[in-house]
Amino acid sequence: MYLTRRDNGFRFQRRIPKTLVPILGASPIRLHLGRIPARKAALIARLLVSHSDRLFHGLVRNGCRSMPDNTDPRDAIIAELQRQLAEVMDETQKTMEATEQAIQAQESLHAAELEQQANEMRVAALERENTLRRDVNAVYTSFMDTQATVLQTLEKAKAERNVTSVTPKLESLSEKIVSLNAAVETSLDGGYVRPLMSVALDQWHREIRVNQGIAEKKTDTDYNRIKDFVAFAGDKPINKYRFFDFQKFANLLAIVPSNYNKIPELRGKTREEAAAYNASLSSDQRLETLSITTIETNYFSPLQVFFQDVAAEYEFRSPLVDVKIRIPKFVKGKTVRRPFTIEELNQWFPVAAMERRAEMKWMPLLGAILGARVGELVPLQGKDVYRVEGNMWVIDLTTDLTDDGGGTEERQVKNAGSRRIIALPDIIIRTGFIDYVKTRRPEDNLFPACFYHGKERVVDPAGAASKRLNAQLKKVGIHRVIETTFHSTRHTAKDIMRLAKIDERIHDKQTGHANKTVSRNYGAKTLLREEIEVLRLLPLPEGLDLSPYFVR
């Protein structure tokens, strides 16, 4: 043990080797390090140990011959270590000063960036204000022209002393003046008042969003993220929100801790309170925040779609048209999800193959080979897996599900391309998956345990299954937050099909990815018989071991 903590700070202590006790004595060498951080003390201790080892070794090899006459060897070693300690302390001080200067420079850079953003927002606001002023001036000019016409008519009436004959015309002009005056006031206030955002959001979610064939989990998430914006900016008429409302929301999301409601000291606090708490911490203690991708995709993309729809319905200009929400540059960038390696799959499959729960056993295999999503696998029923010709088997996601009462229930998929046929390669048939499917009736769920926790029905079966599968990955030791999760199996499946030289359009159909070009979008949208045959013969990458799944 080289370090001890005392009231006046840390102390370095080094035992004298037995071979040098006759020369240096038995008392350990001790040096006072002072009140410094524990991490710094440990680093200095390692340096002093290394230096003292070198001095001890030299003394053993050369004895006292290398030292001046009448010099105590112990004093010489202590003096040398103190000199080394002084150099380390001096170098550390210089490093700390350089670090402090770098931090100050970084903070100055951040301040400059924020000031630049503020200036850009001021310019944008002035441009919108100028547009409004032009509209108001047009109305006001019309108003003044009408007023001049009225005055001219009155003067003409006085000259002709025939007031009665012009009364109807004056009344018409008077009504026009009142109407124009009201138009000026309405224009100055941003137009006539539309519904509150909470009312429009509920109507849009209920009547438009949920009827577009989008997965319920996605529509619910979008609805909740838009409600988060309402909670921040206030429940105002939908045409009364301004650009600053959205930019301030982005600035808040950049510093609020992710999943802050799960952090004990922040549970029950508002986003503003959580953000203020996080901003008060030092840079090395600051809690992890949302990424740029999460802010743009989960928060502002739904807001864009919502305002685009309601602006068309209620005839006003969306506040998000022709503007750019700027995410602060200090926000962490996108974390790239990567596929599993062959070695990681070979670690995972033996564990999964031994699971008693059907979804925990089969979903890792189906995800990695087929590229199917958890939300697509969980609702599968016995009727969805069938033979099409010879020994070709498929999973059919194009049909509706059978509900508990024997009726039909719409299958929830992520998008139109997800409603597809998935070919089962022969290697899947060899594992015994088909034998398991045959134990289920057509209307039975293939993975019934996903829908219940004990005797209670699970609200989000796909979400619960995803958490269990990621817990399995953690158990195996191949899980990394965002980077390698169960969804990484879709990346793995794409790599396997590319290595097998499968045509890009065929494996896009297999995984439900959208065709990005006009040419590739022509033709059958689901797999043809010949394409199923190609995927049936899919070869596995060299070294991938599925033997834990093979029927014994």
pLDDT in tens, 346-358: 999 999 999 999 9
Any idea what the CATH number is for the domain that residue 516 is in? 1.10.443.10
Sheet holding 29-34, edge to edge: 3-6, 9-14, 29-34
Q: Give CA–CA dist 12/488, Å, rounded.
A: 49
Per-residue DSSP letter, 297: I
The domain total for the chain is: 4
- Pairs from 130-137 (Cβ < 8 Å, separation ≥ 24): 132/187, 132/188, 135/187, 136/184, 136/187, 136/188
Mean pLDDT over 6-32 rounds to 82
What is the β-pairing status of strands 456-457 and 9-14? Answer: unpaired
Domain that holds residue 355: 342-549
Residues 438, 434: Cα–Cα separation, whole Å: 6
Q: Are 10 and 3 in contact (CB under 8 A)?
A: yes
Per-residue CA distances from 85 to 7, 27, 91, 254, 498 (Å): 20, 20, 10, 43, 58
Residues 457 and 539 in one domain: yes
Residue 273 domain-assigned?
Answer: no
364 and 446 share one domain: yes
Residue-level pLDDT at 113: 67
d(C-alpha 449, C-alpha 461), whole Å: 9
Q: Is residue 277 part of a domain?
A: no
User: Is position 337 within any domain?
Assistant: no
The helix/strand/coil state of 387 is strand
Of 108, 127, 156, which residue constitutes the final position of a domain?
108
| 468-513: pLDDT as tens digits | 999 999 999 998 876 788 889 999 999 999 999 999 889 899 998 8
In a domain, 74, yes or no: yes
Q: Identify whether 175 is part of a domain.
A: yes
- Domain boundary among the residues 108, 135, 160 is at 108
Q: Could you tell me if 34 and 164 lie in one domain?
A: no
Which range (3-17, 354-368, 408-422) has the least confidence?
3-17
| Same domain for 123 and 16 | no
56 and 144 in a single domain? The answer is no
pTM for this one?
0.53
The span from the CA of 533 to the CA of 386, in Å, is 15
Compute the distance between CA of residue 531 and CA of residue 506 in angstroms, rounded to an integer. 7
